[in-house]
């Protein structure tokens, strides 16, 4: 055994999970379902699958064991498998492997496979009984992601058919009771953990301690945040307004007498709907100058925030100085080489600062963290079944999450946690976060249910851990029928079968499919990727007119989507000449968004290749890529029934939808600058209700395009057009 190996073994033996090894193994062999809870970092993810592997290898069944451990995110599946292989002194792909979308490392002798939940669901599509699999471990069940909740319904069913199959659920919180009763009183094992005490500083303490002054002005430093704030403040969302009013009331009622008058004044300027980048910068400098050594972990809401904050900090005299600070980022869409850096120790005298999403809350443990800065928010989709609208906005986290985040600071020594919100606001947080299945549209999930042949949608979903409301289920089914993915018997159509193979919103899948069939894939890939990220066109408050003018130079034919295609192509050219950043700056475009669009395009293309709709020769796929009329048709095909009619009144146009009456365009749409739109229809990507209904990302289309590529016309009309189109569309009907 090498010295490295001995050190590794020593490390493993010191993890809390190791002390429970025998108890865990006994429970797993005696029970079909076991639930393991234990604090983050205690060794659940890296150790439990290994315990099973080791005990199986030395048992009679050794040669046949096959363990699958699911992770909610691809980045954790990859990093965990790498870690486990190295703990075993092996290369990845020997006994331990991984598989995520588009990537994997798995050999003939692989017995323990880490994969994303989506990968296991896809496997169930072709292998209903998981033949040969002996153990399924579902990790991070406390996150209550849609895929995980879905997988549990399927596995529960499977367990009754395969009595020798073992299921292990792992959770970072003690909410194990819910899961236990779902599986008929399954055994729960808690791994006692240890963390050093962490001192908590709420906003009022931070202001008192550092002397930082909040003013209404210095909190609105990130215009993206402000845009979010403006919308979310007015959007009629129950939970949000509850907290918002709780904030107002509790702030008024709270007693801050023990704090200085400057602090009290500052607090009255605090804007709960905005993340104060300046404050974060200030606290980081404070830690760097005043505090003992130790890494700092900053919890932000998403990669876009992280990128903007990173840019800001790089420009800081202290924080941007590589001889003093190692500034790193950690989020789901980063490359695996980048990812490894966050585990490394910095050189002595250099302080590591990691800007992370809530991925660092439970799935990735950075060992040397001593300071945590918590913005108190996470990006979360919310769906309102009544209005049938959804949005992705930063919202307040739960108490459980806040405790998790704080706990990250106490792993190696006593730590400090800086919460950028007052104590009274924390008190108003919900105990647990609402599970995803209850707060997102169910369209993709419904397609999955049908393609796995799991029976009727409503019946299947009624067997979930917590079932979504019936109205949400009906909306999803209705939508899938309208777009032609389900027939009137609620069975998948040919289109539906293809859509089920594409892990994205059906409307985006539809565009990709049609773009592939009509050989105009290049621009369609850009549009679909663009719709999957935050709006790449920036609209800073103080330079609104300039930004709008910059956007309108990309448009000439009443389409935000085509404007994006042009902006992206321009960026691509500039990037080839290494002037991508400058190009973005000049044109009010977000450079990180452009990069993400670029990589998503590749990902989407290979997904399409998997479906068999695209051959390897992509030049053929784009033979018609310059035909804007065709692309317009593809956009219409995807966005239908998101459609409004354009009412011409003399020299100006107004908009109307069937459900909402008069609607409006967001001011940064290229169509908002046109007084007259010489088309009868406008298809749009999204609508938001903020007092009035506003449309986001729109493209004008003609009657014939709508007739052919929309859906609300009679069969007779379709037949007529079909003949005209030479049967091209037969495929979809
Ligand atoms: P849990 O799943 O209970 O949160 P893990 O099994 O992920 O815990 O982690 C156990 C320990 O192994 C932690 O102390 C963590 O820091 C360490 N660890 C995990 N992955 C890595 C890695 N890639 N590099 C270094 N240390 C790691
Ligand atoms: Mg874990």
Q: What pLDDT does 711 receive?
A: 59
pLDDT at 730: 40
Rounded distance from Cα 40 to ligand 2 centre (Å):
6
- Choosing from 70, 365, 367, 370 the residue with most ligand 1 atoms within 8 A of its CB, the one to mutate for a pocket test is 365
- Check if 46 has its Cβ closer than 6 Å to any atom of ligand 1: yes
* Higher pLDDT, residue 383 or 128: 128
Contacts of 608 (CB under 8 A, 6+ apart): 502, 512, 513, 516, 521, 614
* Cα of 409 from ligand 2 centre, angstroms: 16
| Ligand 2 midpoint to CA 394 (Å) | 24
| Centre of ligand 2 from the C-alpha of residue 181, in Å | 22
Give 40 Cα–ligand 1 centroid separation in angstroms: 9
Q: What is the pLDDT of residue 390?
A: 57
Q: Give the residue-averaged pLDDT of 114-137.
A: 93
Give percent above pLDDT 70 in the chain.
Answer: 88
Q: Give the model's confidence band at 232: pLDDT under 50 very low, under 70 low, under 90 confident, else very high.
A: very low
pLDDT average, residue stretch 417-435: 90
* CA–CA separation, 436 and 148 (whole Å): 10
Which residue minimizes the CA distance to atom 25 of ligand 1?
343
Cα of 43 vs centre of ligand 2, distance in Å, is 7
Check if 43 has its Cβ closer than 6 Å to any atom of ligand 1. yes
Lowest mean pLDDT among 188-197, 354-363, 533-542: 533-542
DSSP state at residue 235: S
Lowest mean pLDDT, pick from 331-335, 543-547, 564-568, 674-678: 331-335
Q: Which atom number of ligand 1 is nearest to the Cα of residue 366?
A: 16
Task: For a ligand 1 pocket test, name from 41, 69, 85, 352 the mutation site with the most ligand atoms within 8 angstroms of its C-beta.
Answer: 41
DSSP assignment of 613-655 equals SS-S-HHHHTTTTT-HHHHHHHHHHHHTT-EEEEEEETTEEEE
How sure is the predictor about 541, in pLDDT bands with cuts at 50, 70 and 90? low
Q: Calculate the average pLDDT of the chain.
A: 85
Per cent of the chain over pLDDT 90 is 50
Cα(486)–Cα(573) distance, rounded to whole angstroms? Answer: 41
Structure tokens at 478: 């209705």
Nearest residue (by CA) to ligand 1, atom 18, is 365
Smallest CA separation from ligand 1 atom 5, residue: 43
- Per-residue pLDDT band for 228 (boundaries 50, 70, 90) equals very low
Model confidence over 150-188: pLDDT tens digits? 999 999 999 999 999 999 999 987 677 889 999 999 999
In the numeric block, the tokens 């209705």 are attached to 478
Instruction: Provide CB contacts within 8 A for 291, sequence distance 6+.
Output: 371, 416
Cβ of 12 closer than 6 Å to ligand 1, yes or no, is no
Among 435-444, 584-593, 647-656, the minimum mean pLDDT is found in: 647-656
Residue-level pLDDT at 332? 76
The yes-or-no verdict on residue 572 having pLDDT over 80 is: yes
- The pTM of this model reads 0.81
Query: How would residue 725 be classed by pLDDT, with cut points 50, 70 and 90?
Result: very low
Residue with tokens 């966050």: 342
Mean pLDDT (whole number) for 370-377: 96
Ligand 1 contact via 365 beta carbon (within 6 Å): yes
* More confident: 512 or 194: 512
Exposure letters 499-515 (e unless 16+ CB within 10 A, then b): bbbbbbbbbbbbbbbbb
| Distance from the alpha carbon of residue 42 to the mean position of ligand 1, in angstroms | 8
Residue-wise pLDDT for 206-215, tens only, equals: 999 999 988 7
Indicate which ligand has the atom closest to the C-alpha of 365: 1
Mean pLDDT of the 434-449 span? 90
Of 100-104, 139-143, 231-235, 374-378, which range is least confident? 231-235
How high is the pLDDT of residue 565? 96
Per the model's pLDDT, the better-predicted residue between 325 and 424 turns out to be 325
Question: Nearest to residue 133, comparing CAs of 76, 230, 49?
Answer: 49
Phi and psi at residue 75, to the nearest 5°: -65, -35
For residue 724, pLDDT over 50 is answered with: no
Of all protein residues, whose CA lies closest to atom 7 belonging to ligand 1? 45
Q: Which residues contact 349 (CB under 8 A, 6 or more apart)?
A: 323, 324
**Highest averaged pLDDT of the listed ranges 46-55, 187-196, 247-256:** 46-55
Task: Report whether residue 42 contacts ligand 1, using a CB cutoff of 6 Å.
Answer: yes
User: What ranges make up the beta strands (E) of 64-164?
Assistant: 67-71, 96-100, 103-105, 112-116, 135-138
In short, whether 41's Cβ falls inside 6 Å of ligand 1 is: yes
116-125, 286-295, 357-366, 509-518, range with the lowest pLDDT: 357-366
Q: Report, as an integer, the average pLDDT of 422-427.
A: 90
pLDDT of residue 687: 84
pLDDT band at 63 (very low <50, low <70, confident <90, very high): low
Ligand 2: centre distance to CA 108 (Å) = 26
Local confidence band at 237 (pLDDT 50, 70, 90 cut-offs): very low
Residue 708 confidence (pLDDT) above 70: yes
Highest mean pLDDT among 356-365, 369-378, 609-618, 656-665: 369-378
Query: 3-class SS at 64?
Result: helix
Predicted pLDDT of residue 92: 95
Among 46, 338, 342, 412, residue to substitute to test ligand 1 (most atoms within 8 Å of Cβ): 46
Establish whether residue 618 lines the binding site of ligand 1, counting it when its CB lies within 6 angstroms of any ligand atom.
no
Q: Is 173 in the pocket of ligand 1 (CB under 6 A)?
A: no
Distance (Å) from CA 478 to ligand 1 centroid: 45
Closest residue to atom 23 of ligand 1, CA basis: 83
Q: Which atom of ligand 1 is nearest to the CA of 365?
A: 16
pLDDT reported for residue 659: 78
Q: Does 407 sit in the ligand 1 pocket, CB within 6 Å?
A: no
In this prediction, residue 275 carries a pLDDT of 83
Residue 15 CA to ligand 1 center (angstroms) comes to 9
Which distant-in-sequence residues (6+ apart) come within 8 Å of 301 by Cβ? 275, 357, 375, 377, 378, 379, 394
With bands split at pLDDT 50, 70 and 90, how would you rate the model's confidence at 434?
Answer: confident
Burial (CB < 10 A; 0-12, 13-18, 19+), residue 31, is: middle
365 vs 31 pLDDT, higher one = 31
Burial class of residue 272 in the structure, from the number of CB atoms within 10 Å of its CB (0-12 exposed, 13-18 middle, 19+ buried): buried
The pLDDT value given to residue 525: 96
Q: Measured in whole angstroms, how far is the alpha carbon of residue 158 from the centre of its chain?
A: 28
Give the pLDDT score at 340.
76
Cis peptide before 30 (omega within 30 of 0): no
Q: Is 49 in the pocket of ligand 1 (CB under 6 A)?
A: no
Whether the per-residue pLDDT at 569 is higher than 60: the answer is: yes
């Amino acid at each position: 055994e090498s010295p490295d190996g001995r050190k590794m073994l020593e490390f493993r033996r010191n993890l809390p999970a190791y002390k429970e090894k025998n108890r865990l193994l006994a429970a797993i062999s005696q029970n079909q379902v076991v639930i393991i809870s234990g604090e983050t970092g205690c060794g659940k993810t890296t150790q439990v699958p290994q315990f099973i592997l080791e005990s199986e290898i030395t048992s009679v069944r050794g040669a046949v064991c096959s363990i699958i451990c699911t992770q909610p995110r691809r980045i954790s599946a990859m990093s965990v498998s790498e870690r486990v292989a190295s703990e075993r002194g092996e290369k990845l792909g020997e006994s331990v492997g991984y598989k995520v979308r588009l990537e994997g490392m798995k050999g003939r002798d692989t017995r323990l496979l880490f994969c994303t939940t989506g990968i296991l669901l896809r496997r169930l599509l072709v292998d209903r009984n998981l033949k040969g699999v002996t153990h399924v471990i579902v990790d991070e069940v406390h996150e209550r992601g849609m895929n995980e909740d879905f997988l549990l319904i399927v596995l529960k069913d499977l367990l009754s058919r395969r009595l020798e199959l073992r299921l292990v659920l792992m959770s970072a919180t003690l909410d194990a009771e819910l899961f236990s009763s779902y599986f008929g009183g399954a055994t729960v094992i808690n791994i006692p953990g240890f963390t050093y005490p962490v001192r908590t500083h709420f906003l009022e303490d931070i202001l008192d301690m550092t002397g930082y002054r909040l003013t209404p002005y210095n909190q609105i430093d990130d215009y993206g945040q402000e845009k979010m704030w403006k919308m979310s403040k007015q959007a009629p969302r129950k939970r949000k307004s509850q907290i918002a009013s709780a904030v107002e009331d509790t702030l008024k009622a709270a007693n801050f007498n023990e704090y200085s008058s400057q602090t009290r004044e500052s607090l009255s300027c605090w804007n709960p709907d905005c993340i104060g980048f300046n404050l974060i910068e200030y606290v980081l400098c404070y830690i760097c100058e005043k505090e003992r050594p130790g890494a700092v972990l900053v919890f932000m809401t998403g990669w876009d925030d992280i990128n903007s904050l990173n840019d800001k900090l790089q420009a800081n005299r202290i924080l941007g100085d590589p001889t003093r600070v190692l500034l790193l980022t950690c989020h789901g869409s980063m490359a695996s080489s980048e990812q490894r850096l966050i585990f490394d120790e910095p050189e002595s005298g250099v302080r590591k600062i990691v800007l992370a999403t809530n991925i660092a809350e439970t799935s990735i443990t950075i060992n040397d963290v001593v300071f945590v800065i918590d913005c108190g928010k996470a990006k979360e989709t919310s769906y309102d079944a009544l209005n049938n609208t959804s949005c992705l906005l930063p919202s307040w986290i739960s108490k459980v999450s806040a405790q998790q985040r704080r706990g990250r600071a106490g792993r190696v020594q006593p730590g400090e946690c800086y919460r950028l919100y007052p104590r009274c606001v924390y008190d108003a947080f919900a105990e647990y976060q609402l599970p995803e299945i209850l707060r997102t549209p169910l369209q993709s999930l419904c397609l999955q249910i049908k393609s796995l042949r799991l029976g009727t949608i409503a019946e299947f979903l009624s067997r979930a851990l917590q079932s979504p409301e019936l109205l949400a289920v009906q909306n999803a089914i209705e939508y899938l029928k309208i777009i032609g993915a389900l027939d009137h018997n609620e069975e998948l159509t040919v289109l539906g079968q293809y859509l089920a193979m594409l892990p994205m919103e059906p409307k985006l899948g539809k565009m990709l499919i049609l773009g592939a069939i009509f050989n105009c894939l290049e621009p369609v890939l850009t549009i679909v990727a663009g719709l999957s990220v935050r709006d790449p066109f920036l609209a800073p408050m103080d330079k609104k007119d300039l930004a709008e003018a910059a956007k309108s130079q990309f448009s000439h034919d009443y389409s935000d989507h085509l404007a994006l295609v042009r902006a992206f192509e321009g960026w691509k050219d500039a990037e080839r000449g290494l002037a991508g950043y400058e190009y973005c700056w000049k044109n009010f475009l977000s450079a990180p968004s452009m990069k993400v669009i670029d990589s998503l395009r590749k990902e989407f293309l290979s997904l399409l290749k998997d479906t068999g709709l695209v051959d390897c020769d992509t030049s053929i796929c784009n033979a018609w890529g310059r035909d804007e009329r065709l692309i317009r048709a593809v956009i219409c095909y995807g966005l239908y029934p998101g459609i409004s009619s354009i009412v011409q009144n003399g020299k100006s146009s107004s908009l109307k939808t069937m459900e909402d009456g008069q609607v409006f365009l967001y001011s940064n749409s290229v169509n908002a600058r046109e007084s007259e739109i010489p088309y009868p229809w406008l298809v749009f990507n999204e609508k938001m209700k903020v007092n009035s209904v506003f449309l986001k990302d729109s493209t004008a289309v003609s009657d014939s395009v709508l007739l052919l590529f929309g859906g609300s016309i009679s069969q007779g009309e379709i037949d007529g057009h079909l003949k005209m189109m030479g049967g091209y569309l037969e495929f979809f009907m």
